[in-house]
Amino acid sequence: MDDLRVSLPAGGRDLTIVDGVDYRVEPGEVFGVAGESGSGKTVSMLALLGLLPEGARVGGSVRFDGRELLRMPRRRLREIAGRDVAMVFQDPFTSLHPMLSIGKQLTEHVRRHLGLDRRRAEERALELLREVRIPDGRAAMRAYPHQFSGGMRQRIAIAVALACRPKLLIADEPTTALDVTVQAGILHLLDRLRRENELAIVLITHDLGVMSAVADRVSIFYAGRVVESGPRADVLRAPRHPYTRALLEALPHPEAARDQPLVAIAGAPPSPGAIPAGCAFHPRCAFAVESCAREVPPLVPVAGDRRLACPVDPFAHAEPGSSKTNQVREFPDV
Amino acid sequence: MSALELRDVVVDYHRRGTTVRAVAGASVSVGAGQIVGLVGESGCGKSTLARAAVGLVPTSGGSVTFEGRPVTPLSRKARPRELARLQLVFQNPYSSLNPRRKVGAQLADALATLDLVPRQARAARVRELCELVGLPPSAVDRYPHEFSGGQRQRIAVARTLAADPSVLVLDEPLASLDASAQAQLANMLVDLARRLELGLLLISHDLAIVRHVADAVSVMYLGTIVEQGPTRAVWEEPLHPYSEKLIGAVPRADGSGVLPTALPGEVPDPTAPPPGCRFHPRCPYAFEPCGVDEPPLVPLGAGREAACWLRIGSKTSREETTRRVVW
């Protein structure tokens, strides 16, 4: 994804939702995209699948296996989007059809895209259900989405997404609606799929804990731009952008003293119609200098695979451990 | 004395001829100015227990008392005045606020209904309520839709504060908020509890937040409380295997790349709970008595209680244990 820009029409004008986003994801890699709601995380993904609403304007470039997706004819894109790229949403009810049996939803897809006959499609469906650990696949095939619990439904949605052996899975807040115990199971599943199937996964989440558990590399979105990206451990243990740091500090920490207030970020994220000039974060930033209000800071390489969009870079030399967010905690490997 | 006391509460839902026991004998108490967290997976009955606590659902057993008086279910009759000091904050501030009335008017409504302040002092009290929850005075002239989710939840809290409550029951007040908005609201709740001596019963599936703000925590599983105690102690050394698994499933944002512990299996169907300990089919430590007899919640010292045969066997006398279970 190179310099992706998306604007959506609203009230007679175009609102910029995604403003120059780029990143790449390799096979077998989980790429985490984090940010608050409205930061453009989801829209950037819908853009590459051609799923934006009427009137949306898209610029930049998105290449999948070397092929440009943004200027591809719609029919061709649907073929790729349905087979090689799959998507899982926060609410499995969105991706599963309520009136069709699970078996139908699993076989229809593979018959269309992989050209399997009925029997082989059914075998493939059972194999998929086994893969996502749904017990008694044959009974599950005859059942309907509402007959399953939230966690099971999300597993089935993942099975449907995997039906055509995609190379890329886009998981948009896949565990947000689930209990932590069920979430843990889904995270284990995603981790196994990328290791065993060489699946590339883009994991969109507002939960930095979820991202920390499975993502290899991460990028932090703010108001339609990437403010910081890099390997998981670097970004989460020694965040350099003031926004990344603030996001981490807003999280409750197990070691924090009782009654020590959580560190909330002042103000609220801007709405797409009212994004501040210069660095969009500057009005909420404790380290902003005069130029932050004027110039949009470019995302530039700072060290190795790390990139940062902050010319002030107040934490350039912060040692891991200098902030409470940087404490390296030891806990049993499970 | 506890301000709010739920003792052996049972709540049954009747649907199409079947009875679902959503809460099967749960006890929770909230002292004055105390923050009590109630955690558990969805479907464990925690929201039902919250509703029973304020009399929104009738109980089939046990008792709910607030400041020494029984909390009676809502009926056609006017609610006793004293119960107005027990308030509920709903999960979704989008549906609990009237979209067509200005915030100031909605806060004044609450004051007028309860007639707590004279008419001429209401405007001043409304501004004071806004200040208490950290809203600007200009908020009174705006409509709910002009506010963010976090601010809307503050408005909802301000409206309950109009009743001059001593206990707030909050049902997932932080769900659907971003981390920063969650942090702001959590800070505000702790601040209110301390400043106004307000007891809080905080129902949440977000264990990290509960861990941070609650003085005590109750862990609920399939309609029963399986463990309760001071929050820090429960987190550091959970005494019930379910609490252990629940706490272990919380992912940490420390960049370690460690997957949280998965808890295999599903929450059983509450219409047909497993015999014995309700957690035993999913419990890695289950042994003979677990599938036979339901373990009682017993005190284990230092203000802690757990309902687990492993603990009961180790802490109470051998006779007592064998009297309860024969194995």
3-state secondary structure chain B: CEEEEEEEEEEEEEECCEEEEEEEEEEEEEECCCEEEEECCCCCCHHHHHHHHCCCCCCCEEEEEECCEECCCCCCCCCCHHHHHEEEECCCHHHHCCCCCCHHHHHHHHHHHHCCCCHHHHHHHHHHHHHHCCCCHHHHHCCHHHCCHHHHHHHHHHHHHCCCCCEEEEECCCCCCCHHHHHHHHHHHHHHHHHHCCEEEEECCCHHHHHHHCCEEEEEECCEEEEEEEHHHHHHCCCCHHHHHHHHCCCCCCCCCCCCCCCCCCCCCCCCCCCCCCCHHHCCCCCHHHHCCCCCCEECCCCCEECCHHHHHHHCCHHHHHHHCCC
The residue of chain A nearest to residue B149, with distances taken between CA atoms, is: A268
Its domain, for residue B165, covers: 2-239
Question: A251 and B259: CB-CB below 8 Å?
Answer: no
Question: B252 and A212: CB-CB below 8 Å?
Answer: yes
Q: What's the pLDDT score for residue A285?
A: 93
Q: What's the pLDDT score for residue A258?
A: 60
Query: Which comes out higher in pLDDT, residue B93 or A259?
Result: B93
Region A199-212: what's the mean pLDDT? 93
Out of A180, A187, A232, the one facing B246 most closely (by C-beta) is A180
Domain boundaries defined on chain A: 1-84+166-334
Q: What's the pLDDT score for residue A328?
A: 34
User: Quick one: pLDDT band at residue B247, thresholds 50, 70, 90?
Assistant: very high
Out of A212, A264, A268, the one facing B253 most closely (by C-beta) is A212
Amino acid identity of B290? C
When mean pLDDT is compared across A129-133, A170-174, A289-293, B176-180, the lowest value belongs to B176-180
pTM of the model: 0.85
Q: What's the pLDDT score for residue A256?
A: 61
Question: A237 and B253: CB-CB below 8 Å?
Answer: no
Cα–Cα distance, B201 to B193 (Å, whole number) = 11
On the question of pLDDT at B309 being above 90, the answer is yes
Question: B246 and A181: CB-CB below 8 Å?
Answer: yes
On the question of pLDDT at A165 being above 70, the answer is yes
How many angstroms separate the CA of residue B322 from the nearest CA in chain A?
Answer: 33
Angle at A155 between CA B226 and CA A109, to 5 degrees: 165
When mean pLDDT is compared across A18-22, A214-218, B27-31, B73-77, the lowest value belongs to B73-77
Query: Which comes out higher in pLDDT, residue A85 or B319?
Result: A85
Cα–Cα distance, B244 to B84 (Å, whole number) = 37
Answer yes or no: is B258 within a domain.
Answer: no
Q: What's the pLDDT score for residue A254?
A: 64
Rounded to the nearest integer, the mean pLDDT of chain A is 87
Cα–Cα distance, B288 to B167 (Å, whole number) = 42
Q: pLDDT over 90 for what percent of chain A?
A: 47
Query: Which comes out higher in pLDDT, residue B317 or B122?
Result: B122
How many angstroms separate the CA of residue B180 from the nearest CA in chain A?
Answer: 5
Cα–Cα distance, B231 to B216 (Å, whole number) = 5
**B183 contacts on A by Cβ (under 8 Å):** 250-252, 262-265
Retrieve residue A57's tokens: 């304007």
On the question of pLDDT at B316 being above 50, the answer is no
On the question of pLDDT at A127 being above 60, the answer is yes
Question: B266 and A151: CB-CB below 8 Å?
Answer: yes
Q: What's the pLDDT score for residue A327?
A: 35
Q: What's the pLDDT score for residue B29?
A: 95
Answer yes or no: is B267 within a domain.
Answer: no
**B281 contacts on A by Cβ (under 8 Å):** none
On the question of pLDDT at B198 being above 60, the answer is yes
Answer yes or no: is B314 within a domain.
Answer: no
Answer yes or no: is B295 within a domain.
Answer: no
| Backbone angles phi and psi of B32, in degrees to 5 | -60, 130
Cα–Cα distance, B291 to B273 (Å, whole number) = 11
Out of B232, B250, B256, the one facing A180 most closely (by C-beta) is B250
Torsion of CA A147, A149, A153, A156, to 10 degrees: -80
Question: A250 and B182: CB-CB below 8 Å?
Answer: yes
Q: What's the pLDDT score for residue A257?
A: 59
Domain A1-84+166-334: give its CATH code.
3.40.50.300
Q: Which residues pair with A19 in a beta bridge?
A: A5
On the question of pLDDT at B156 being above 90, the answer is yes
**B251 contacts on A by Cβ (under 8 Å):** 180, 183-184, 187, 207, 209-210, 212-213
Q: Residue A282 has what DSSP assignment?
A: G
Q: How many residues does chain A have?
A: 334
SS3 B216: strand
Q: How far is CA B261 from the centre of its chain?
A: 24
Question: A188 and B251: CB-CB below 8 Å?
Answer: no
On the question of pLDDT at B76 being above 80, the answer is no
On the question of pLDDT at A11 being above 60, the answer is yes
On the question of pLDDT at A322 being above 70, the answer is no
Q: What's the pLDDT score for residue A273?
A: 83
Number of domains within chain B: 1
Report A:217-236 residues touching B (Cβ under 8 A).
232-236
Strand boundaries in chain A, DSSP class E = 2-10, 13-21, 30-34, 57-61, 63-64, 67-68, 85-88, 168-172, 200-205, 217-222, 225-231, 300-303, 306-308
Cα–Cα distance, A9 to B150 (Å, whole number) = 27
Nearest to B276 by CA among B327, B320, B239, B317: B327
**A152 contacts on B by Cβ (under 8 Å):** 266
Query: Which comes out higher in pLDDT, residue B19 or B219?
Result: B219
How many angstroms separate the CA of residue A115 from the nearest CA in chain B?
Answer: 35
Answer yes or no: is B118 within a domain.
Answer: yes
Answer for the pair B97, B79: CB distance below 8 angstroms, yes or no.
Answer: no
**B136 contacts on A by Cβ (under 8 Å):** none
How many angstroms separate the CA of residue B3 from the nearest CA in chain A?
Answer: 22
Q: What is the pLDDT of residues A13-34, one digit of tens each?
A: 888 999 999 889 999 999 999 9
Question: B259 and A214: CB-CB below 8 Å?
Answer: yes
Out of B180, B232, B257, the one facing A232 most closely (by C-beta) is B257
Out of A184, A250, A264, the one facing B262 most closely (by C-beta) is A184
On the question of pLDDT at A204 being above 90, the answer is yes
Question: B186 and A258: CB-CB below 8 Å?
Answer: no
Q: What is the pLDDT of residues A254-296, one digit of tens each?
A: 666 566 788 888 887 888 888 999 999 999 999 999 999 999 9
On the question of pLDDT at A332 being above 70, the answer is no
For residue B6, the surrounding DSSP H or E stretch is strand B2-15
How many angstroms separate the CA of residue B81 from the nearest CA in chain A?
Answer: 33
Cα–Cα distance, A172 to A41 (Å, whole number) = 9
Question: A213 and B184: CB-CB below 8 Å?
Answer: no
A333 touches chain B (CB under 8 A): yes
Out of B183, B245, B262, the one facing A262 most closely (by C-beta) is B183
Out of B186, B251, B254, the one facing A210 most closely (by C-beta) is B251
Do the interacting molecules here have an ipTM over 0.90? no
Question: A236 and B253: CB-CB below 8 Å?
Answer: yes
Cα–Cα distance, B164 to A222 (Å, whole number) = 40
Q: What's the pLDDT score for residue A71?
A: 85
Answer yes or no: is B280 within a domain.
Answer: no
Q: pLDDT over 70 for what percent of chain B?
A: 95
Distances (CA, A) of B266 to A149, B262, B288, B294: 8, 11, 21, 19
Residue to mutate among B256, B261, B283, with most A CBs inside 10 A, is B256
**CB pairs A-B closer than 8 Å:** 152
A4 touches chain B (CB under 8 A): no
Q: What's the pLDDT score for residue A265?
A: 85
Answer yes or no: is B293 within a domain.
Answer: no
User: Quick one: pLDDT band at residue A319, thresholds 50, 70, 90?
Assistant: low
On the question of pLDDT at A326 being above 60, the answer is no
Secondary structure tally for chain B: helices H, strands E: 11, 12
Question: A250 and B148: CB-CB below 8 Å?
Answer: no
Q: What's the pLDDT score for residue A10?
A: 84
Answer for the pair A202, A47: CB distance below 8 angstroms, yes or no.
Answer: no
Q: What's the pLDDT score for residue B190?
A: 94
Question: B266 and A152: CB-CB below 8 Å?
Answer: yes
